[in-house]
């Protein structure tokens, strides 16, 4: 949880300096678009101002880090002796990397992050349900792939053959999921430069969090182990 808190605050810094300026531009574009459709100039009043939201960003990422850090620690305790890496640092990084790929990178390929103004507001529930369904299914797919690799290893399959078989199966399952789930919203008409800046800041924020958590948690485990054997 301590590792999660520290990494969460670091992630908040990244999001503040990299993601927030892009979000400000997207909101300004959305407000300009709404203003052009309302002759009376009426607009919805924000519950929280942008300055308040930016301060709250650190509270949100810190709370997220503590929560995810605690869950990650429980998961690591279960998988520790089952992971192939030879050190706590290597195991922690590999576990964090697998979660990043399953929980964010794979869903991102199907449903990349979009600014608030992209997509029909009336379909937000359906889009949210489809996204979280893909997150759950991709994590399950990653787990099944890992279990399959362990089974093949126990049966004497060599590493190159295991990787080809598991990789091919993983690609096939993900292809079926991508085709089966509904398509994401169209971003037609939205400035492409701003759109991809928003998406890259989103994936960068997640990468900073999971890389930081894997490295810091693993380092703390190595430190605790060295103290225990001293």
Q: Residue 41's pLDDT is what?
A: 47
| Predicted confidence band of residue 219 (pLDDT cuts 50, 70, 90) | very high
Task: Taking residues 150-172, report their average pLDDT.
Answer: 92
CB atoms within 10 A of CB 4: 26
Q: Give me the chain's average pLDDT, please.
A: 87
pLDDT beyond 50 at 42: no
Task: Taking residues 77-106, report their average pLDDT.
Answer: 92
Task: Taking residues 213-229, report their average pLDDT.
Answer: 89
Sequence ranges of the domains in the chain? 2-119+191-229, 120-184
**pLDDT tens track for 138-150:** 999 999 999 999 9
Higher pLDDT, 96 or 36: 96
| Predicted confidence band of residue 49 (pLDDT cuts 50, 70, 90) | confident
Q: Residue 26's pLDDT is what?
A: 80
Higher pLDDT, 61 or 121: 61
Q: Residue 166's pLDDT is what?
A: 94
Q: If you search the block for the tokens 């990397």, which residue do you land on?
A: 97
Q: Residue 5's pLDDT is what?
A: 94
| Predicted confidence band of residue 64 (pLDDT cuts 50, 70, 90) | very high
Q: Residue 230's pLDDT is what?
A: 55
**pLDDT tens track for 73-83:** 999 999 888 88
């Amino acid at each position: 949880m301590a590792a999660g808190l520290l990494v969460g605050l670091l992630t908040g810094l990244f999001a503040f300096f990299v993601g927030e300026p892009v979000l400000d531009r997207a909101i300004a574009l959305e407000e300009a678009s709404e203003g052009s459709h309302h002759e009376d100039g009426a607009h919805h009043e924000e519950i929280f101002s942008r300055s308040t939201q930016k301060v709250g960003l650190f509270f949100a990422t810190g709370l997220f880090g503590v929560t995810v850090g605690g869950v990650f620690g429980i998961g690591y305790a279960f998988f520790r002796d089952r992971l192939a890496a030879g050190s706590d640092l290597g195991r922690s990084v590999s576990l964090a990397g697998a979660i990043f790929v399953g929980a964010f990178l794979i869903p991102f390929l199907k449903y990349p992050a979009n600014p608030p103004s992209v997509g029909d507001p009336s379909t937000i529930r359906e889009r949210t349900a489809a996204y979280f369904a893909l997150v759950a299914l991709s994590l399950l797919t990653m787990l099944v792939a890992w279990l399959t690799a362990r089974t093949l290893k126990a049966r004497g399959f060599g590493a190159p053959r295991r990787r080809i078989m598991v990789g091919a199966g993983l690609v096939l399952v993900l292809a079926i999921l991508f085709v089966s789930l509904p398509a994401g919203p169209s971003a037609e008409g939205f400035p492409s430069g701003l759109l991809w800046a928003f998406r890259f800041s989103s994936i960068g924020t997640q990468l900073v969090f999971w890389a930081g958590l894997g490295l810091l948690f693993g380092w703390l485990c190595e430190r605790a182990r060295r103290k225990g054997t001293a």
